[in-house]
Amino acid sequence: MKKFFAELIGTFVLVFLGTGAAVLGGGADSVVGFSAIALAFGLTIVASAYSIGTVSGAHLNPAVSIAMYLNKRIDGKNLGIYILGQVVGALFGSLALLTITGNNSALGQNVVADGYSLFTGFLVEVILTFIFILVILTVTSDKKGNSNLAGLVIGLTLTLIHFVGIPVTGMSANPARSLAPALLVGGEALSQVWIFILAPIVGGVLAALVAKTLLDTEE
C-alpha cells in the first residue's frame, strides 16, 4: 500500500503541476510558457525521485512500470498496484485543476496539433517515450546506472522531450497523464486518447528490449 500511495501522490503532483503550468501559465504560445511547461514536468520528476522515489522508485507513468515489469524489475502484482495508483493520482490531479479553473476544457489535455496527422502524432509519442524510458532504464540499472544522479538525469530528459513533443501532441509519454484530462474534457481529447495510451506503451516496450539486449542493463 505504501507503493500505491507513493505513486498516487507522485502522479497527482506531476499532473497537477505539469498541466497546471500549461493552463495557468498561459500555455505554449510564448517561449516562456513553452519552457515553463517543460520544466514543470521535468522538475516534478526530479522532486519525486528524491522523495517518494525512496518508496516506489517514482515511476508515475504506466509505460515506465510496464517497461520495468518486462525487464523483471517489478512483478505482476506490483505492476497492477503501480498503474492503479498512477491512474487514480492523475485523475485527482486533473480534478484539483478543474476545481481551480472551473473550466473542463482547460485541463492540459493531449491532442494532435493542426497540420499533423494522427500517425505523425503517434510516431512522435513512440519515439520520445522510447528515448525517455531508455534513459530511465539505463540510469537506474544496477549494472550501468548512477543512483545519485538518476532523478536529475530523468527529469532533464523529460524536460528535453517536451521541447519536441509540445508543438505536435502537447507531449504525453504517459498514459495516465493523458487519460485523466481526456475523461473530464471528452470530445477530441477523448477520441484521440488511444494514441496517448498506446504510443507510450509501444515506446516503453521498445526501450525495455533495447536496454536489455543492446545496452545490457539487466542482471
Q: What is the pTM of this model?
A: 0.93
Q: At what angle do helices 150-169 and 118-139 cross, to 10 degrees?
A: 180
CB atoms within 10 A of CB 101: 14
pLDDT exceeding 90 applies to what percent of the chain? 78
pLDDT tens readout for residues 38-72: 999 999 999 999 999 889 989 999 999 999 999 99
pLDDT tens readout for residues 144-194: 777 788 899 999 999 999 999 999 999 999 999 999 999 999 999 999 999
CB atoms within 10 A of CB 214: 9
DSSP state of 103: -
Q: How far apart are CA 48 and CA 50, in angstroms?
A: 5
Average pLDDT over residues 66-86: 95
Instruction: Give the chain's mean pLDDT.
Output: 92
Cα–Cα distance list, 120 to 128, 157, 201, 202, 203 (Å)? 12, 21, 16, 15, 14
pLDDT tens readout for residues 129-142: 999 999 999 999 88
Maximum Cα–Cα distance for the chain, whole Å?
49
